[in-house]
Structure 1
Amino acid sequence: MAYLALYRAWRPRRFAEVVGQEKTVTALRNAVREGKLSHAYLFSGPRGTGKTSIAKIIAKAVNCENLSEGEPCNQCSSCQDINNGNFMDVIEIDAASNRGIDEIRDLREKVRVLPAQGKNKVYIIDEVHMLTTEAFNALLKTIEEPPDAVIFILATTESHKIPATIRSRCQVYNFRRLTTAEITERLSDVAANDGIILEPEALLLLARRANGGMRDALSMLDQIYSYKGNNSISKQDVLEVMGLVDDAFMAQLIAAVLSQDTPSIIGILGTAFSQGKEAQQLAREASMFLRDFLLYLVAGKEADLVVAGEESQAFFEQQKSQINMQNLLRALRIMMDTADKLRFSEGQKYLLEIAFMEIATLFSEEKSAQPSFLEEKKPKKKADPRAKASSNEAQDALWNKILAAVKEKKIPTHALLVQGKLLGIKDDTVYIAYKKGYKFHKERMEERGNREILGQALKEIMGRDIESQFIFLDDDQYNDIIVKKALEFFGEELVEIKD
């Protein structure tokens, strides 16, 4: 037997197997059991949520030879023929390719013919909103008063395009998007049955990216399973096959945007392009990440996030007090507009770079409007040599204490940190500077794991939570103005500043 795609092999064959849509399933099963089915139905909702599957279950139920409690048996010849697509009295019509008045006139003539194989004829018209106005008009009378043994089931993803005259002649059922938990449970069952080992992170990523559609989730799993050639699927496999980027990567990119670090923005995007990522997909990923950020600001850890994992949530928590929600919303709109424009643009790389720099400018204006210690100016005092020497000793002592505490926790982190220079501490933030030759050390210290180790050491020494900020001292491309102002405010030997 030819291979069946997972979404076809796992298509529900009974009402009880349908995932989600509980109210719709209950109403239709009761109608079948009590013999109160309508002559016409309109199923509307997002793609992959079960509209056509339930239509076929109804078709089996009205032709089943051994119906039990409103459920088709799937064993009789009628049920098996419908499952195999060989039943003459179940007619599936794709309205996208049969949308004209001639096709509907042909349907009107054939609908009067008695069932040839079963007890009832069922017409399933998919994407019915694609019919022309003339075709809808031709269908009106037939839907209103079809022959006794005929049932019409219309399915659409765009119910607002269905004329009111058609809607009023049908029982309307609205299908909802499936929850992440519902999709996760189904994918777990499929993987267990087919011997696929799905890592928890891969499973969650698939469920989230399905956007509420079970068919999309199963299709993605099928594609990745074929690509792998073995039974084990990791999160990285999902990212590679689907052309997605890790949320940690996106957090790094947005962090560069928030800090107006243009060279890093260009470099990060260049890395993504060199790995074969598409500009439009990157714009979509950024849009979803910013959407998650926005929801996190509103609902915190209770937010229903699409792409953000634990690391990204830690990034949100760190940044939320410094972000203006209105500007974040503007940034989201810019990125969504960019994703739309990229569909028709040739210079996609440059358009995406400009969009990110535009967002960076947006947050730059936000920060410049806020009072900052970098903008404060204090009258210069004549340096006291004794105070300077004392401050040098205090700074060296504190820095050595920090280094020792970090070394006890993790030696590789100490090796990265020791190349830096303690600039000062203000408002629960430690500022550590690197020379431009130690870019690698600075970037590794900015990673979450190393930041946490430094944070633990600082808390032990200072008795409170201290955030860390890493900057370059002598690279014209990085924060040169900020460093000059910071040095002017801190002084080169100042250890801790208190207002």
Structure 2
Amino acid sequence: MTFLSKVVCARGGIMAQLALYRSLRPQRFDEVVGQEQTVRALRNAVQQGRVSHAYLFCGPRGTGKTSVAKILAKAVNCVEPVDGEPCNRCASCVDIASGSFMDVIEIDAASNRGIDEIRDLREKVRMMPAQGKTKVYIIDEVHMLTTEAFNALLKTLEEPPESVVFVLATTEPQRIPATILSRCQRYNFRRLSQTEILERLKTVAQTQGIESEEKALEVIARRATGSMRDGLSILDQCLAYGLSSITYQDVLNVLGLVDDRFLSEFFGSIMEGDAGLVLTYIDQAVAAGKEALQFVREVADYLRDMLVLKAVGPGAELSRVVGDETLLELGRQAESLDTGLILEVLKRVMQLAGELRFSESPRFIMEVTFLELAGLLGSRDKEKVSASSAIAPVKKDSARIKGKEKIASTKGTEVPWAKVLERVRSKKVTTYALLAEARCLGLKDGLVLVGFKKGFKFHRERMEQKENKDILSNALEETLKQKVEVQFVMLGDNPEDDPLVRKAIEMFGQEMVEIKD
């Protein structure tokens, strides 16, 4: 079987491709991703013979509502169910899976929303099942029914035949009349996490023989925004371009997206107020074929992630556009901006997206708006942090600095920081990037003090995480050939009053510490 399941069309034996989200639809309750509580309750109901006459499945699109409805239809009609699961081998299970089972009726309420269609349904409901044990009506987008149609459906839900089960699916439960809600068992389907979608995409790629970069699948998972169906559809779209192997750049090209590094650098030029560079980046995006509206939406998503990171901190689950490589820069940018200012910029970018939908000169409006934002951010009061205010314990003379190699020493104990960083880099590049702005302040009695300048709080918080801290500790111990403990501290505005200085003096003695202005 190739990576695209295929079916034979009725005419001329032409081979047509079946969409991945259809060919890979889950066939058992335990194959459904992310809806554990719902499928457990339904499986138990089937196993115990306590299936309700009406269910309401609520949740965002692509989260499994219709798939679970079909699994339930198989389970209640299966000849040999096992622990509430359909066997997927009997005639009923096979026919339901292929869509040829007469007693499973799917109705699209968006197209059949009137009272006449529901009256026809009421008449047919009274007929006994023709092929299986139970007739199952799956009404999708049920919120689209008219008021009269809902009233007609209510009559059927009040006194349904014993051999009928209704499954109503909707993305907008607030539009369902209370009289209908009160007669259904309600189950809420949640959006799937990026991790859940990514793991499913990896499994699909492996089982379908698709070679893919993990970073490419990560982008697809982010763009799926909680919908497994959307994730599989994007993967299908990439394959439709004739790509037997999928790279990160392939996904960006197919979806018309901007690289996250490009977004980071573009917003950095706005923060610096560099009008020429802002226009250069816009020109590059347009030259690469990126649509103005899509580009602006990407910038809005980037700002949204910045706002979340600013509010929640390093533990925030970011939504769509930021990968591991740009997370550090996003954190630095978030640290240097006030929450109110980020929110103000985000609102203006969202307003720009609305304006572009009706504009005949999208590039001109986009350029003007981003230049205005560059003027706003570029003129803000910036924190003045002097790189020369670093403090290092020394041997009565200052610390030796050779190029980028900083050696902090005290009483004959040297820490070759550059060598330590090289060891860190070989273990994990992202940890090395976190330490790029740090300085080693000394070693005494097995304690290594590492300082971060003001503005790099995000980096310090990430380094406090066990994995990153262990990597640095191991690199130090391998270099120094001794056991050490690492402590991270922040540099303040006034070195003499800084806790870091007091800590250094306490560790190394007053005569061993020199403050450089």
Q: Which stretch of the first structure deviates more once superposed, 338-347 or 44-53?
A: 338-347
Structure 1 residue identity aligned to 2:263: M
Aligned with 1:319 (options 314, 333, 353):
333
CA distance in 1, matches of 2:146, 2:359: 31
Whether 1:130 aligns to 2:150 is: no
Aligned with 1:77 (options 91, 97, 103):
91
Deviation at 1:54, TM superposition (A): 0.3
Match of 1:283 in 2: 296
Structure 2 residue identity aligned to 1:279: A
Deviations 1:247-299 (A, max 9, x none): 00100111111111222222211211121111221122111111111122223
Match of 2:419 in 1: none
Distance 1:87 1:206, change over 3 A: same
Q: Is the 8 A contact 2:238 2:254 kept in 1?
A: yes
Match of 2:12 in 1: none
Aligned with 2:30 (options 5, 13, 16):
16
Structure 2 residue identity aligned to 1:183: I
Q: Is the 8 A contact 2:191 2:227 kept in 1?
A: yes
Match of 1:441 in 2: none
Q: Is the 8 A contact 1:405 1:457 kept in 2?
A: no
Whether 1:342 aligns to 2:340 is: no
Runs of 4+ in 1 over 6 A off after TM superposition: 455-460, 463-467
CA distance in 2, matches of 1:163, 1:362: 49
Deviations 1:218-261 (A, max 9, x none): 1111111221432x211111111111111001001111111112
Aligned with 2:314 (options 301, 311, 323):
301
Residues 59-458 of structure 1 aligned to structure 2 (within 5 Å)? 59-230=73-244, 232-306=245-319, 307-364=321-378, 367-368=380-381, 405=403
Structure 1 residue identity aligned to 2:351: D
Structure 1 residue identity aligned to 2:403: A
Structure 1 residue identity aligned to 2:154: L
**Secondary structure of residue in 1 paired with 2:132:** coil
CA distance in 2, matches of 1:457, 1:132: 64
Whether 1:48 aligns to 2:62 is: yes
Percent identical pairs in the alignment equals 55
Distance 1:171 1:354, change over 3 A: farther
Count of residues in correspondence between the two structures: 399
Structure 2 residue identity aligned to 1:331: V
**Secondary structure of residue in 2 paired with 1:339:** helix
Structure 2 residue identity aligned to 1:33: Q
CA distance in 2, matches of 1:66, 1:352: 62
Match of 2:497 in 1: none
Match of 2:508 in 1: none
CA distance in 1, matches of 2:172, 2:274: 43
**Secondary structure of residue in 2 paired with 1:43:** strand
Q: Is the 8 A contact 2:92 2:101 kept in 1?
A: yes
Deviations 1:387-420 (A, max 9, x none): xxxxxxxxxxxxxx99x837x9xxxxxxxxxxxx
CA distance in 1, matches of 2:42, 2:452: 58
Match of 1:420 in 2: none
**Secondary structure of residue in 2 paired with 1:169:** coil
Q: Which has the higher strand share?
A: 2
Measured on the aligned residues, the alpha-carbon RMSD in Å equals 3.1
Q: Which has the higher helix share?
A: 1
Distance 1:253 1:183, change over 3 A: same
Deviations 1:168-214 (A, max 9, x none): 11111000011122111111111111111121211211112111111
TM-score when scaled to structure 2? Answer: 0.71
**Secondary structure of residue in 2 paired with 1:344:** coil
**Secondary structure of residue in 2 paired with 1:41:** strand
Distance 1:343 1:143, change over 3 A: farther
Distance 1:342 1:95, change over 3 A: farther
Deviation at 1:464, TM superposition (A): 8.1
**Secondary structure of residue in 2 paired with 1:36:** coil
Distance 1:117 1:268, change over 3 A: same
Structure 2 residue identity aligned to 1:287: A
Structure 1 residue identity aligned to 2:251: V
Q: Which stretch of the first structure deviates more once superposed, 307-316 or 343-352?
A: 343-352
Structure 1 residue identity aligned to 2:234: M
Deviation at 1:319, TM superposition (A): 2.5
Whether 1:28 aligns to 2:26 is: no
Q: Is the 8 A contact 1:327 1:362 kept in 2?
A: no
CA distance in 1, matches of 2:364, 2:177: 43
Structure 2 residue identity aligned to 1:135: A
Structure 2 residue identity aligned to 1:298: A
Distance 1:296 1:166, change over 3 A: same
Distance 1:150 1:263, change over 3 A: same
Distance 1:177 1:356, change over 3 A: same
Structure 1 residue identity aligned to 2:373: I
Structure 1 gaps, min length 5? 375-400, 409-447, 468-496
Deviation at 1:457, TM superposition (A): 12
Distance 1:458 1:71, change over 3 A: closer
Q: Which stretch of the first structure deviates more once superposed, 257-266 or 32-41?
A: 257-266
TM-score when scaled to structure 1? Answer: 0.74
Structure 2 residue identity aligned to 1:71: E
Deviation at 1:18, TM superposition (A): 0.6
Deviation at 1:456, TM superposition (A): 8.3
Deviations 1:124-162 (A, max 9, x none): 011111112222122111122211111110111111111
Structure 1 residue identity aligned to 2:20: L
Q: Is the 8 A contact 2:270 2:378 kept in 1?
A: no
Q: Is the 8 A contact 1:459 1:466 kept in 2?
A: no
Q: Is the 8 A contact 2:306 2:331 kept in 1?
A: no
CA distance in 2, matches of 1:213, 1:88: 29
Deviation at 1:465, TM superposition (A): 7.2
Deviation at 1:371, TM superposition (A): 7.1
**Secondary structure of residue in 1 paired with 2:314:** helix
Q: Is the 8 A contact 2:274 2:378 kept in 1?
A: no
Distance 1:23 1:237, change over 3 A: same
CA distance in 2, matches of 1:356, 1:122: 55
